Structure 1
Amino acid sequence: MRLTWSDYLVLAGYIALVTGLGVYGARHRRSDDEYFLVGRRMPWLAVGISIVAAMISSITYLAEPGEVWKSGVTHATGKLLGIPLEMLFVWGCCIPFMMRFRFTSVYEYLEHRFGRPTRRWGAALFVIMVLLWMGFVVLVLSQVVHQLCGMPLLAVILTVGTVTTLYTMLGGLRMVIWADVVQVVILVAGAVGTIGYIMWSEGGTPVDWLAAADAHLQAIGQPTAIPVFSWDPTVRVTVVSVAVNMAVWHLCIHSSSQTTVQRYFSTPDARAARRSFLASSIAYVAVSLLLVSVGLAVLYYYVSTGRPIDGNLDPETQRDLIFPTFALHHLPAGAGGALLAALLSAAMSTVDAGLGAVATVVSLELRPVCASHEQPSGPLAAHELPRAGASGASRVPLAMATTVLAGTVITGIACTLTCLPPHWGIFGAIPRTFNAITGPLGALFLTGMFMPCVRQPAVVAASVCGLAVSLVLGYLQQISAVLHAHGLVPHLWPDISFAWILPCSFLASVLVAPLLSLVDWSPPRDLTGLTWWTRRAALGEALERLPRP
């Protein structure tokens, strides 16, 4: 199917809107603090919505409705149970702990807690993770548009990468947050419009949708609609495995990802940051339920009436394309463009968040390289950026150049990732690419917060072990194929469920760190104010006693 002129008009209007926001944001850019953190004056509700936009990409927008065809509401049930597990911890521990510091980059904490090499290691892990994440997001969106609308794949990749890079470079964090608010509205409108059309044309209630999903799952041989738990780690999804995976993922993202934590730092204080977190959690649950409802409604549309799926798509291998294909074939004129705008908004909200965070981290990390004689910033309770003799806007040009470079790299990664095996699908590829780093990165921070006995050599080595666990579990079948080809193993090993890879890598990092600390004889550091157990100490006095690199 090809888009009509009205669809192209909607798309052009959306691209013009977000680019205009970037130009408008550039008019308010007066200093580093304004560019990176909006002067720490952003409204908590806008920050909360922006966090949701950063976490819900086109991957989620396509995979959530598509997953209904594979596992019904099992994945959604596990996700919704996992979120409360991490909410109390993030609300009660992570946010108040980190908001005591006046950091611009969350990786500054690693320098004060462990040392400058750990800060560089954490920042490097983050940059690699985000570049892979953003490249994967752009690739997924571009492949969908290419397959459904016939647009050249390279042209779609270049358009998304160029536009997102442009408005992020111009406007800084202020523009990113307000653009994210607009993009969430578009994303929700596209999903609500689909549900409304199906209810108007076919009738039925959510109860009918669930019954249709249950019948479909029974037809494809799934023994129960909602498998709760299995001791077999190769079972693709259960409620427990998804809940654990989502809880660990959210915990790592909210404690160690500059993409998320930078938004908390843009609020005035810990109270506003907590309100932003609460708003983002509520909105995340609501959007997840909405997308699952879209998947159930579309499944009901086809299954209950016996209609063939448009485009002759296979629900087993092409389930992620069923929702957008339905919208392009059945929604009114202009709705196809609105859907693509929703997909673009979901992708671009994630990419702009990643670009902004990478620009912040890289511009801060390059400063010590260029001026290695400088001491660590301080005191901890003061903002890092304004230093004596430093220009108030000295890092903005570097951040803008970094944004352009990162956008170019992301576009190149998206082109490179086209070689991924197609049978992996979205959920199968995620833990084998960017999420292979998420667990070890989160473990760096949580180890620093709660394990005062662990020092720099142990925590870095433990994170390397966590990375190794991610790669071994993620590529277990491929590793066994190589070993089998050389006669080292009798048969191929089965794939571990994608839901267990991230929790296992996180757990490995957290467990190995204290074990390695038993043989770590590096000099101890004064941790006053830098761990959960010493958090009430005077931060400024603590920093003065830290050993200088």
Structure 2
Amino acid sequence: MRGLSTADLLVVSAYLLAVAGMSAWFARRQATGEDYFLAGRRMHGWPLALSLVANQASAVSLVGAPAFVALQAGGGLVWLQYELAVPLAMLALIVLLLPALRRASGSSIYAVLEATLGRGTRRAVAATFLVSRGLTLGAVLYASALVVSAALGWPLAAAILALGFVAVLYTTLGGLVADIWSDVLQLVVLWAGCAASAWHLLASRGDELLAALPPERLVAWAPRATGLGDGETFAFLPMLVGGLFLYLSYYGCDQSQAQRLLAARTTRDAERALVLNGLLRFPLVLTYCGLGLLLAGLLQVDGGFASAMAGRPPDALVPTYLVTALPGGLRGLLVAAILAAAMSSIDSALNSLAAVTLEDVAGITPERQPAWLARATTLAWGLFAVGAGLGAAASGRAILELVNQVGSLFYGPVLGVFLVARLAPRAGGRAALGGLAAGLAATGGVAALATGVSWLWWSPLGCVATLLVGLAAGRDAPALGALIWPRRATLALAAMFVAVLAVLVASGARAQSPPPAPRRVACTVAAVSDGDTLRCRQGDRRVRLLGIDAPEREQAPHGARARAQLLALAPVGRTVWLELDVRARDQYDRVLAWVWRPDSVLVNRELVRRGYAVVSLLPPNLRYERELRTAARDAQRERAGLWATDAFACPPEAFRKGQCG
């Protein structure tokens, strides 16, 4: 592991000084809350667009998306399907919500709800925003701290505290105008850092990496699954429909994004910002997903890099690459890029949380808010963010999914309330609040009880439930009224939709050819040690079955039963086939393998399906993760094998650590 060199530190320091100087410069011209929260309503379309793009490309994306593409279960380029929804969402936002948002008189977008649905609805939706955005803010801080911790050798908690301090300092000082212009700088830095890192891999080992890419990671088109109980979270339909609802709510009903639309000089500037965002998002996402794809190839060909990732979570992929493989200077640029992505998300969240707190909760309009009060409120939310970041670090969840799942719980119901206000303004506050409660109950209920349903369906479900209950309770017939479709915006966004769809379909066509069969070596079973370990006669090799963990022999009688199952599947004297993954041996010099019987039964999966082992995956050896997880769900549902007993009340790993009573 290498820390940051002098060149790296100079790059990072130059970036931080530029951001701090920019914030100090803009702070001199702020006297009121309108200056602080809305940049005096003087912003042009193009800086607003770049700010929107930078905000969505957070540290969560730059750390989580490459990890999803390279290592995550069910991952790969399928994440690009999500981007198909962006141009559609931008067009729907321009047509359905932007005119109403531009009529908001203060700095809060939730003021538009009060005019039709009452003060109570405004406060309830604002409170929902405060909860959801406050929670996701911690995950963004955590993602950034992973990189700083790896690069500087700091404890994770110290990195979270340091990053929180820097972000709060410049956001508290400069307000929205500093956020927007620093976002422009940050977008350049994060795109350059990501592109330079990918170029370094291509220039140094491009042919080798591209030849070694796992075929399943190249697939960007999964049109057959639905995500409705089939275990396929990242299929085309849920990503398109769920993405449409989530992005429409994120950009139109989330204060951290829509506040920028209020800061535009004119409605035309706000419209231009949304169109440019719809055009620029896909190339940026393609850049950092491309980096993830190259890192997937690097795991296959670089044993040192694969060993450094052994036993680490997928989200450690980019930080590990940064400190083990990048040369000096580029390390600093990638650190600066991830910091830039983090700052662009954190500054927007802090500024918007403070704006909603003062205007919607405290009831103080922007012109009556002294700048010192706005800064103090921002500081308070900064302290909350640090606490949420420490909590996210303790959760151990994959950050890309974590952030999107939190958003999917709340964004659909909030969008539903805005649509009630748009379609049935006379429905009334009680009807809207009833719809909001129904929507939140629907998303929460599905999340808790219908675990087989993809979380991507939560937003559409919550929105539809809110809208139906709100309209029914309000007894007001929905009416769209006259819709204005700006010609240039419609053509540009429709063309972008077709272009992204063409990329996805082309990927799907390439994926139709079957991948080459993996190399397997023969093993004549000499002995079976326990439920997940055997010995081969060839070279007296010990083999640890990948992806599973069976009860230890000391866990009587469960360990003996698990060993008996492996012995039945791979009897002594029988020849089986060992399929190696990325990492070939563990710290005990055991061969790590997927074990196949001559009748094409994967022994690892069969032990899980019969209920005699649990899933236990260690990156980068994840080739059959999906099959194992499906088998585990079936075994638990059917109470197969040891699931009919208390064997897994104390999982094997916990038993080895002495954590079972």
The corresponding residue for 1:65 is 66
Equivalent position amino acid for 1:501 in 2: W
Q: Give me the whole-angstrom Cα distance separating, in 2, the residues matched to 1:534 and 1:455.
A: 22
Does 1:268 find its partner at 2:243?
A: no
Q: Give me the whole-angstrom Cα distance separating, in 1, the residues matched to 2:122 and 2:482.
A: 20
| Aligned pair partner of 2:200 in 197, 204, 207 | 197
TM-aligned CA deviation for residue 63 of structure 1: 1.8
The corresponding residue for 2:96 is 93
Q: Give me the whole-angstrom Cα distance separating, in 1, the residues matched to 2:483 and 2:433.
A: 23
Is contact 1:83-1:243 (8 Å) kept?
Answer: no
The corresponding residue for 1:131 is 134
1:13-412 aligned within 5 A:
13-69=14-70, 70=72, 71=74, 73-147=76-150, 149-204=152-207, 209=210, 212-215=212-215, 217=217, 226-231=221-226, 232-233=228-229, 234-303=231-300, 305=301, 307=303, 309-314=305-310, 318-368=313-363, 385-386=366-367, 394-412=369-387
The corresponding residue for 1:486 is none
Normalising by structure 1, we get a TM-score of 0.80
- Deviation sequence 1:286-327 (CA, Å, 0-9, x none): 211111111122223343x46453453259x73332233223
Q: Give me the whole-angstrom Cα distance separating, in 2, the residues matched to 1:458 and 1:249.
A: 23
Residue-pair matches, total: 479
Q: Give me the whole-angstrom Cα distance separating, in 1, the residues matched to 2:321 and 2:438.
A: 44
Q: Give me the whole-angstrom Cα distance separating, in 1, the residues matched to 2:40 and 2:317.
A: 44
Equivalent position amino acid for 1:4 in 2: S
TM-aligned CA deviation for residue 149 of structure 1: 4.4
Q: Give me the whole-angstrom Cα distance separating, in 2, the residues matched to 1:464 and 1:147.
A: 42
- Deviation sequence 1:30-49 (CA, Å, 0-9, x none): 33332221221112111111
| Aligned pair partner of 2:413 in 420, 440, 444 | 440
| Aligned pair partner of 1:464 in 418, 423, 437 | 437
The corresponding residue for 2:10 is 9
Equivalent position amino acid for 1:34 in 2: D
The corresponding residue for 2:481 is 533
**Identity of counterpart residues, as a percentage?**
27
Q: Give me the whole-angstrom Cα distance separating, in 1, the residues matched to 2:43 and 2:220.
A: 43
Distance 1:385 1:194, change over 3 A: closer
Equivalent position amino acid for 2:215 in 1: A
TM-aligned CA deviation for residue 366 of structure 1: 4.7
TM-aligned CA deviation for residue 74 of structure 1: 4.5
Is contact 2:108-2:360 (8 Å) kept?
Answer: no
TM-aligned CA deviation for residue 60 of structure 1: 0.8
- Decide which structure has greater helix share: 1
Distance 1:174 1:84, change over 3 A: closer
SS at match of 1:61: helix
Distance 1:19 1:515, change over 3 A: same
- Deviation sequence 1:333-390 (CA, Å, 0-9, x none): 122222121111111110100111112122213553x7xxxxxxxxxxxxx745xxx5
Is contact 1:440-1:509 (8 Å) kept?
Answer: yes
Is contact 2:146-2:316 (8 Å) kept?
Answer: no
SS at match of 2:98: helix
The alignment's C-alpha RMSD in Å is: 2.8
Is contact 2:194-2:288 (8 Å) kept?
Answer: yes
SS at match of 1:473: helix
Uncovered stretches (5+) of structure 2, i.e. residues with no partner = 485-661
- Decide which structure has greater strand share: 2
Q: Give me the whole-angstrom Cα distance separating, in 2, the residues matched to 1:217 and 1:30.
A: 52
Over alpha carbons, which structure has the higher Rg? Answer: 2
Is contact 2:299-2:305 (8 Å) kept?
Answer: yes
Which structure is richer in relative contact order (CA contacts within 8 A, separation 6 or more)?
A: 1
Does 1:511 find its partner at 2:468?
A: yes
Q: Give me the whole-angstrom Cα distance separating, in 1, the residues matched to 2:117 and 2:193.
A: 46
TM-aligned CA deviation for residue 216 of structure 1: 5.0
Is contact 2:221-2:236 (8 Å) kept?
Answer: yes
The corresponding residue for 1:484 is none
1:478-489 aligned within 5 A:
none
Is contact 1:65-1:295 (8 Å) kept?
Answer: yes
Distance 1:225 1:281, change over 3 A: closer
Is contact 2:105-2:111 (8 Å) kept?
Answer: no
Q: Give me the whole-angstrom Cα distance separating, in 2, the residues matched to 1:498 and 1:143.
A: 25
Distance 1:109 1:535, change over 3 A: farther
Distance 1:535 1:216, change over 3 A: closer
TM-aligned CA deviation for residue 235 of structure 1: 1.5
Is contact 1:311-1:325 (8 Å) kept?
Answer: no
Normalising by structure 2, we get a TM-score of 0.67
Q: Give me the whole-angstrom Cα distance separating, in 2, the residues matched to 1:93 and 1:41.
A: 24
Mean alpha-carbon deviation: is it higher for 347-356 or for 120-129?
A: 120-129
Q: Give me the whole-angstrom Cα distance separating, in 2, the residues matched to 1:348 and 1:256.
A: 21
1:425-436 aligned within 5 A:
425-436=398-409
Task: Please identify runs of 4+ aligned residues in structure 1 that moved more than 6 A.
Answer: none
TM-aligned CA deviation for residue 81 of structure 1: 1.9
Q: Give me the whole-angstrom Cα distance separating, in 2, the residues matched to 1:58 and 1:271.
A: 30
Is contact 2:412-2:458 (8 Å) kept?
Answer: no
Is contact 1:256-1:442 (8 Å) kept?
Answer: yes
Does 1:451 find its partner at 2:427?
A: no
